[in-house]
Amino acid sequence: MAIDTANQPLSAAVSEDDTVLGTVTLNMRRTHSQTLLPVISDLLERTATPVEKLERVAVTSGPGSYTGVRIGVTTAKTLAWTLGLPLVATTSLHLLAGNIAADDPRLIISLIDARHENVYAGVYQWVPETAASGPQNVLLPHHTPLAELLPGIAALQQPAIVVGTIPVAYQEHMRSVLGSQVSFADSLTALPSTARLALWAPAMTPVADIHNFVPTYYRQTQAELEWRQYHDDAGHAPYVEEV
């Protein structure tokens, strides 16, 4: 079972061996907490997959919407923990990069809009020897201003394709800096495909400690930023204490 709720789309899939039994992707502005469990239940029923038959759970751990990421991670952890299954995880950027064909030699720039001309970004490339677990990292996922990302891409001096839903203004900025080095995948390619994640899952290393597995946000939440603004002397320790 593979799950992704990191951004507006919701995607779930079930696979058996090398076959995808079923997948559902919704791209609506609805709360994932209302739709994810009904989608999983319906998917298991329609693929005639009893929950007891599940052998592994896969999930994206971020980046993206803080609430969306938490919903997916919490659901996947609960399934894996209660059923005694291995849990594997990858980033939502890696999942997007997997939408580019494995025979495409270009750099794959996965982008998620983080607002205010910032992006979550990861750069990947397919390597034949490790294709079973998806494209490999060239630049690790991170949160960055778009203007600071582009010189590093240009320095790689390789053709690149961008995948992800980003504003037109960002695309124009990238074209102005990278020119013919960069092209853009279509909007359909920007939808996450948990069918791919389900097929990658058997080759992925399970999370060592499911109970302590947490989302990867790649930046502080607004609440954390505001706390630090007024509590510089408090450090970054948890600011909620048991009373």
For residue 208, what are its two tokens? 């060592």
Sorting pLDDT into bands at 50, 70 and 90, what band is 222? Answer: low
Q: Which of 159, 204, 167 is nearest to 60 (CA)?
A: 204
Mean pLDDT, rounded, of the chain: 92
Alpha helices in 157-202 (DSSP H): 168-178, 194-200
| pLDDT for residue 234 | 57
Tell me the average pLDDT across 118-141: 96
What pLDDT is attached to residue 243? 45
d(CA 193, CA 199) in angstroms, rounded, equals 10
- Interstrand relation of 10-16 and 2-4 (parallel, antiparallel or unpaired): antiparallel
What value does the mean pLDDT take over residues 198-214?
96
For the chain, give the number of residues.
243
Report which secondary-structure segment, H or E, holds 95: helix 92-97
> pLDDT by residue (tens digit) across 42-99?
999 999 999 999 999 999 999 999 999 999 999 999 999 999 999 999 999 999 999 9
Q: Look at residue 155 in the predicted model and tell me its pLDDT.
A: 96
Q: Alpha-carbon distance 134 to 112, whole Å? A: 19
Q: How far lies 73's CA from each of 59, 148, 188, in Å? A: 6, 30, 24
What b/e sequence results for 192-208 when a residue is b if at least 16 CB atoms lie within 10 Å of its CB, and e otherwise? bbbbbbbbbbbebeebe
The per-residue pLDDT for 228 is 64
Residue 240 has pLDDT above 80, yes or no: no
pLDDT band at 237 (very low <50, low <70, confident <90, very high): low
The mean pLDDT of 110-116, rounded to a whole number, is: 95
Output the six-digit token pair for 233: 């002397």
User: Domains, the chain, ranges and CATH?
Assistant: 2-92+192-221 (3.30.420.40), 93-190 (3.30.420.200)
Question: Given a cut of 60, is residue 236 above it in pLDDT?
Answer: no
SS3 203: helix
Which stretch of DSSP H or E encloses residue 154?
helix 146-156
